[in-house]
Chain A
């Protein structure tokens, strides 16, 4: 049974690839944005210093190199998520833009008066607001799947909503706010059986547990490079080819056309139909290097390490008096722990933690409907990645005790 045992990560060796850790910070905010290794920044610097030029446009050598490296990321990403073709890999600025692309290009044409859109109370604002705008414009309405007391989606209610034949179902693979891992495969299967088009927000899924979009069976899958060791400004929309073929462009201008005449334009083939104007070339190259890095470590090994750290942190935090953890038990959650402390505001904890160089998120985590549902204005959140050490969790515990000493 050795095949089931993920290779153990050498975290102290990994951390040497991340110069930022030399500053001494305890970085517990990877669900917000990850840190980036030298391999990623190096690939970007290589572009800037050695072959900086625009892609798809020039006939000279360095532009060919730039185009090759830029397009090379597409195959890396295709393999990473097991898409059928690089034509299904659209570069975007990130998850938010990817979802907005679908809401605009697919939604405006396909969502009609009286249609139902199903999202969940766990969703990030970026997987709520684009649908609210679409629903308002096209006369559709939205229903939210609620959570139970453990912060897990109420599958019974979800199945009931599916009986109303929604046009679209959109949900996150993993909750950024409380770490719930949704049963994405079952949920997609049920939604497809109900005739819905399905978008999965993979912003917290792809970086930590990976994805096989064909096994998942969704129509669209969106994620960000900057949460998976890549730079900001480069993300991915995966879409099933036939859907992407049928969709109108999102933004328009250079590069997304085949020919422009006074009478009108013909659009470029996939994937470039959705990539208007000069793209984030260095960032896309950086994202390719990030995918290489993740693939090199292995997603199973990354997930195994995160599970170990999450269990360690969950136990350490649960031992603290007056501390409430939100969400499911560690075996059913990603590397995210959201919590509150009796009598201590999350902002105060974050400020005190910061004095000890502990980077902790305090706020509503762009999930205000969930915060309202949990009856809190804000929580503190610690989140982990393959480079997180137990020592950083210990420093968080120290900050919490310090805050209690000062404020209680």
Chain B
């Protein structure tokens, strides 16, 4: 079996790079907020630690195990979160996260892609997304 170009797109270098070399992976000492969520479909867990200074995300790290999609999504999201205000972070949408991954994601894998966003929303704001579970 060979993987064609279209198929490789799913596992293109960009995603593989974030999977193999995740940015902001690890734990923060004395975080202001720490939160974990799991994907009951596969048992994957992702957690994030946040340090907040005057309403701005001063530092963020993520931990946990998961597939390429959830790990790359967490890596990308933490890159984006560093240095922005909580107010800006609140505005990050599902479409933003999926757009940033830049690949087509099947219905079965959408929860993997959105798990890090769920950690952010529930952890940082205590907000369970009202539409969570629709996919």
B60 contacts the other chain (Cβ, under 8 Å)? no
Shortest distance between the CB of B51 and any CB in chain A (Å): 28
Decide if B16 touches A351 in the complex (CB within 8 Å).
no
Q: Report the bound CA distance from A352 to B41 in whole Å.
A: 18
Q: Shortest Cβ distance from B90 into chain A, in angstroms?
A: 29
Contact: B67 with A347, CB < 8 Å? yes
| Contacting residues of chain B (25-77) with chain A, CB-CB under 8 angstroms | 41-45, 65-69
Contact A406-B16, Cβ < 8 Å, known A351-B10, A351-B106? yes
Q: Would you call B135 an interface residue if the criterion is a C-beta within 8 Å of the partner chain's C-beta atoms? A: no
Q: Determine the chain B residues whose CB is within 8 A of the CB of A362 once the complex forms.
A: 42
Given known A347-B109, A362-B42, contact A398–B67 (CB-CB < 8 A):
no
By beta carbon, the residue of chain A nearest B11 is A406
Residues of A within 8 A of B41 (CB): 363-364
Cα separation A126 to B109 with both chains bound (whole Å): 25
Contact status B67-A377, CB under 8 Å: no
Q: State whether A352 touches B11 (Cβ < 8 A).
A: yes
How far does the alpha carbon of A376 sit from the alpha carbon of B67 in the complex, in Å? 13
**Cβ A348 vs Cβ B3 within 8 A:** no
For chain A, which range describes its interface: under 10, 10 to 19, 20 to 34, or 35 or more residues?
A: 20 to 34
**Is there contact, CB below 8 Å, between A363 and B11?**
no
B66 pairs with A364, CB closer than 8 A: no
Query: Which residue from A345, A347, A351, A399 sits with its C-beta under 8 Å from B1?
Result: A399
Residues 359-380 of A, flagged 1 when their CB comes within 8 A of B and 0 if not, give 0001110001001000011100
**What's the nearest-Cβ distance from chain A to residue B6, in Å?**
9
B67 A345 Cβ-Cβ under 8 A: yes
List A contacts of B67 (CB < 8 A): 345-348
Contact B16 A407 (CB under 8 A): yes
> In the complex the two chains form, what is the Cα distance from A164 to B119 in whole Å?
45
Please provide the chain A residues from 372 to 399 with a CB less than 8 Å away from any CB of chain B in the complex: 376-378, 395, 398-399
A114 within 8 A of B: no
Instruction: Please give, as numbers and ranges, the residues of chain B lying within 8 Å of A351 by CB-CB distance.
Output: 10, 106, 109
B114 within 8 A of A: no
Per-residue interface assignment for chain A, residues 227 to 239, with 1 indicating a CB less than 8 Å from any chain B CB and 0 otherwise? 0000000000000
CA distance A371 to B38 in the complex (A): 15
Contact (Cβ within 8 A) A407 B1: no
User: Which residues of chain B have C-beta atoms less than 8 A from A399's C-beta?
Assistant: 1
Complex formed: what's the CA distance from A406 to B45 in Å? Answer: 23
Taking the complex as formed, is A186 at the interface, i.e. its CB lies under 8 A from any CB of chain B?
no
Are B1's CB and A348's CB within 8 A? no
Residues of A contacting B8 with CB < 8 Å? 406
User: Quick check: B10 and A364 within 8 Å, CB to CB?
Assistant: no
- Residues from chain A with Cβ under 8 Å of B134 in the complex: none
On chain A, the residues within 8 Å of B66 by CB distance are 345
Question: What A residues does B69 contact at CB under 8 A?
Answer: 347-348
Interface centre among B16, B65, B67, B112 (most CB of A within 10 A): B67
Q: A351-B106, A355-B7 are in contact. Are A377 and B1 (CB under 8 A)?
A: no
Once the chains bind, are A377 and B3 in contact (CB under 8 Å)? Answer: no
Q: Are A347 and B11 in contact (CB under 8 A)?
A: no
Neighbouring A residues of B45 by C-beta, 8 Å = 377
Of the candidates B10, B65, B109, the one whose C-beta lies within 8 Å of that of A377 is: B65
Bound-state CA distance A350–B118 (Å) is 24
> In the docked arrangement, what's the CA distance between A30 and B67, Å?
24
Among B42, B45, B69: residue with most chain A CB under 10 A:
B42
With contacts A345-B66, A355-B7 known, what are 18 further pairs, Cβ within 8 A?
Answer: A347-B109, A348-B11, A348-B67, A348-B68, A351-B106, A351-B109, A352-B11, A362-B42, A363-B41, A364-B43, A376-B43, A377-B44, A377-B65, A378-B42, A378-B44, A402-B1, A406-B3, A407-B68
B residues contacting A by CB (< 8 A) are 1, 3, 7-8, 10-11, 16, 19, 41-45, 65-69, 106, 109, 112
Pairs of residues from A and B, 3 with the lowest C-beta to C-beta distance, nearest first = A377-B43, A345-B67, A356-B1
26 A-B contact pairs sorted by A residue (CB < 8 Å) = A345-B42, A345-B68, A346-B42, A346-B67, A347-B42, A347-B69, A347-B109, A347-B112, A348-B68, A348-B69, A351-B10, A351-B106, A352-B3, A355-B10, A356-B1, A362-B42, A363-B42, A364-B43, A371-B43, A377-B43, A377-B45, A377-B65, A378-B42, A378-B44, A399-B1, A402-B3
